[in-house]
A = this chain, B = another copy of it.
Amino acid sequence: MNTFVSIAPVIALIAAICGLAFAMYKFFWVKKQPEGTKEMANIASKVRKGAMAYLKRQYKTVGIFFIVMLIIICIMAACDMLTWFVPFAFLSGGFFSGLSGFIGMKIATYANSRTANGAQQGLNKGLKIAFSSGTVMGLTVVGLGLLDISVWFLILRAMLGNPDEIMAAMLTFGMGASSMALFARVGGGIFTKAADVGADLVGKVEAGIPEDDPRNPAVIADNVGDNVGDVAGMGADLYESYVGSIISTGALATAAGLGYAGIIVPMLIAAIGIIASIVGTFFVSTKEGATQKNLLGSLRRGTYIAAIISAIAAAVLIFTQLPDNTGVFWAVISGLIAGVLIGFFTEYYTSDSYKPTQKLSGSSETGSATIIIDGIALGMNSTAIPVIIVGISILVSFFAAGGSGSFAMGLYGVGISAVGMLATLGITLATDAYGPVADNAGGIAEMAGLGEEVRNRTDALDSLGNTTAATGKGFAIGSAALTALALIVSYTDKIESLGGDLQLSLTNPPVLIGLFVGAMLPFLFSAFTMQAVGRAAQKIVVEVRRQFKQIKGLMEGKADADYETCVDICTRSSLKEMIVPAALGILAPIIVGLVLGVNGVVGMLAGALVSGFAIAIMMANSGGAWDNAKKYIEAGNFGGKGSENHKAAVVGDTVGDPFKDTSGPSVNILIKLLSMVSIVFAGLIVKFNLIDLIAK
């Protein structure tokens, strides 16, 4: 181990701290901005309180799960199936994942009123505040992620001293983060869509009042939902991808015989990415009177600059640290490019600036049935290109890293491409997390009656947020696929080191059955989450109807709605409803393992990965396209707002809500969680499983 390699984790730690410090600086900068009128502050405080109340109760519920899992893990450690590091690692992963979401949400709920207020001064001011809060989120996620990894790595290196053992222990870290992420995404996703669908069904459709109207009792819940679902959920999700990709690539490095040098490369690529992201944020600003295109260009400029800096620094790093495997650099590049391309095609399929969504708007002319059929078809259609991009990216990184000579080296390259895709997460997540803030700012502007000009500005920011959210989703899905892939390979390495009998041929029945089960899991999981949204929304519908009936003067604007009850109902039902889907994600690998053994598990992981990837894209893009098809009609096309076509498009949008904001993004986490759980329970499964008993 040369000096550089030995101090590299410290460099990563410093970069992580830089990221966190910058996030903190931005946090206080945003908080320092004026909050606007008393009414605005009041609304914002309601949203913040609701969101915090939800999060506290969510952590309590999740806490019970963590205690149960901790006991199980401790028992397994006592039985020598795991090392005693794992319980601590499990907790730290869960804690930091939750913390990422918490901080992201905290700043988002501070930034919403301040963005609305900033938009009163001008577009640039609004953008700056909203984007700064996104930056807090982005840099918190990557900062905490790299902090967790580098500190653990330093501790384990001091205690174990052998790269193989270190990475084997670190691989188990991810499960805490994944579980936390799944709870956050599923719970938050159910909350946000139950509130949204419930508010729309009664408010917009039955009572005929506009969106974000303060008379609607579910309007605060809807705004809370944006924060707990889109912000906290997304933060936990990407935290997990980020950490997962770095750790699994490190594990692949030891399998490829690269030793410490191979382990520090992904950590340092991440470190480079953090610094580059910070630099990139300085390039995001716009002038007053900017068009949508200018705004988007400004966000893109920041992202591209960060990407270019990362690429150059990564080249230097790889050429000096892995001089015999410089091809690994192309893996980084292929990951970066794949991320950008998937993001672009997500935008192509879901933005109303392009043909597919425009055509989808036209389907409304023959009613809601045809817009549903065509929307589903659009989503299914849109799976093809991302699959091809991911396929090419795998192929390029495998062969560039040397896969034709060394199989393990090639797989290390695939892992590195995931790290490359996520390197600039600090800034890409910032452009993504800014969306819900702008959305909320619009809601506050509407509720506080800030006038049309302000609302137009927040609308411009929000509409841009839809585009960046689409890109962000494509990115999240692409990175989830590559990360899950790296995790699967790491799992097989772990099984080998445990002496398990791997027969991974596709014609081996346990592998095949595992594939069938795995491919089915995302379907079942999506069904659970969609039905959960339905049930929760139903309760909101009943409550909103009750308030409209029983609160005298509400419709006339003379009495206040009882917002808290709606928030409370959403909180209760989403926490209740998140349990079954989460249990599916955690129990499936254990049950499949106990029945079909390790080969069945690998089959299941691969099946869930490939079908989950397609379903996640389909749901995200169908949902995004319906949303924007509706907006396209509202902009005056195909009859405009209030027409029969618009009504049909609203049906599409409502169907798309759980697609794009609950089920789709949760599937992303599911495919990683399955691998993480499998890795933790590997020791158990190798020892006990039904299929080995039968075969004997």
Contact residues of A with B, CB < 8 Å?
197, 201, 205, 363, 366-370, 372-374, 376-381, 383-384, 387-388, 390-391, 394-395, 398-399, 403-404, 407, 410-411, 414, 481, 485, 488-489, 492, 504-513, 515-520, 523-524, 526-528, 530-531, 533-534, 537-538, 541, 602-603, 606-607, 609-611, 613-614, 618, 650-651, 654-655, 658, 691, 694-696
Residues of B within 8 A of A691 (CB): 395
Q: Please pick, from B534, B602, B651, the residue contacting A651 in the complex, using a CB distance under 8 A.
A: B651
Docked-complex contact A398 and B488, CB < 8 angstroms:
no
Residues of B within 8 A of A512 (CB): 394, 485, 606
Q: How far is the CB of A189 from chain B (nearest CB, A)?
A: 14
Q: Please pick, from B404, B488, B515, B696, the residue contacting A606 in the complex, using a CB distance under 8 A.
A: B515
Q: How far is the CB of A675 from chain B (nearest CB, A)?
A: 13
Docked-complex contact A527 and B610, CB < 8 angstroms:
no
A-B contact pairs, 8 of them (CB 8 A): A205-B367, A366-B541, A380-B523, A384-B520, A387-B517, A391-B513, A485-B512, A504-B505
- How long is the Cα–Cα vector from A69 to B218 in the complex, in angstroms? 61
Q: Please pick, from B376, B506, B651, the residue contacting A511 in the complex, using a CB distance under 8 A.
A: B506
Q: Please pick, from B383, B394, B526, B606, the residue contacting A524 in the complex, using a CB distance under 8 A.
A: B383
Residues of B within 8 A of A205 (CB): 367
Docked-complex contact B534 and A363, CB < 8 angstroms:
yes
- How long is the Cα–Cα vector from A650 to B368 in the complex, in angstroms? 10
Docked-complex contact B526 and A507, CB < 8 angstroms:
no
Given contacts A370-B654, A381-B531, A504-B506, 10 further A-B contacts (CB under 8 A): A201-B370, A368-B368, A372-B651, A376-B655, A380-B523, A394-B512, A394-B513, A492-B507, A505-B505, A515-B610
Q: Please pick, from B380, B508, B518, B606, the residue contacting A526 in the complex, using a CB distance under 8 A.
A: B380
Q: How far is the CB of A422 from chain B (nearest CB, A)?
A: 19
Q: Please pick, from B381, B407, B611, the residue contacting A610 in the complex, using a CB distance under 8 A.
A: B611
Residues of B within 8 A of A414 (CB): 509
- How long is the Cα–Cα vector from A249 to B654 in the complex, in angstroms? 48
Q: Please pick, from B372, B509, B534, the residue contacting A395 in the complex, using a CB distance under 8 A.
A: B509
Docked-complex contact A527 and B201, CB < 8 angstroms:
no
Residues of B within 8 A of A379 (CB): 527
Most buried by B among A377, A387, A694: A377
Q: How far is the CB of A592 from chain B (nearest CB, A)?
A: 10
Most buried by B among A363, A395, A410, A537: A395
Q: How far is the CB of A495 from chain B (nearest CB, A)?
A: 11
- How long is the Cα–Cα vector from A394 to B603 in the complex, in angstroms? 14
Docked-complex contact A383 and B488, CB < 8 angstroms:
no
- How long is the Cα–Cα vector from A357 to B485 in the complex, in angstroms? 38
Docked-complex contact A527 and B399, CB < 8 angstroms:
no
Residues of B within 8 A of A363 (CB): 534
Docked-complex contact B404 and A530, CB < 8 angstroms:
no
Q: How far is the CB of A638 from chain B (nearest CB, A)?
A: 15
- How long is the Cα–Cα vector from A281 to B366 in the complex, in angstroms? 45
In the complex formed, the residue of B with least CB distance to A370 is: B534
Docked-complex contact A618 and B507, CB < 8 angstroms:
no
Q: Please pick, from B373, B381, B513, the residue contacting A658 in the complex, using a CB distance under 8 A.
A: B373
Q: How far is the CB of A510 from chain B (nearest CB, A)?
A: 8
Docked-complex contact B509 and A394, CB < 8 angstroms:
yes
- How long is the Cα–Cα vector from A541 to B363 in the complex, in angstroms? 13
Docked-complex contact B614 and A519, CB < 8 angstroms:
yes
- How long is the Cα–Cα vector from A516 to B654 in the complex, in angstroms? 30
- How long is the Cα–Cα vector from A485 to B518 in the complex, in angstroms? 16
In the complex formed, the residue of B with least CB distance to A399 is: B694
- How long is the Cα–Cα vector from A366 to B540 in the complex, in angstroms? 12
Residues of B within 8 A of A611 (CB): 519, 610-611, 614
Q: How far is the CB of A313 from chain B (nearest CB, A)?
A: 27
- How long is the Cα–Cα vector from A367 to B374 in the complex, in angstroms? 19
With A509-B414, A516-B390: A374-B613 Cβ-Cβ less than 8 Å: no
Most buried by B among A370, A384, A414: A370
Most buried by B among A411, A515, A541, A611: A611
With A512-B606, A611-B519: A201-B367 Cβ-Cβ less than 8 Å: yes
Residues of B within 8 A of A607 (CB): 610
- How long is the Cα–Cα vector from A610 to B613 in the complex, in angstroms? 14
Q: How far is the CB of A672 from chain B (nearest CB, A)?
A: 16
Most buried by B among A201, A378, A384: A384
- How long is the Cα–Cα vector from A517 to B614 in the complex, in angstroms? 10
Docked-complex contact A531 and B374, CB < 8 angstroms:
yes
- How long is the Cα–Cα vector from A241 to B336 in the complex, in angstroms? 44
Residues of B within 8 A of A376 (CB): 527, 530, 655
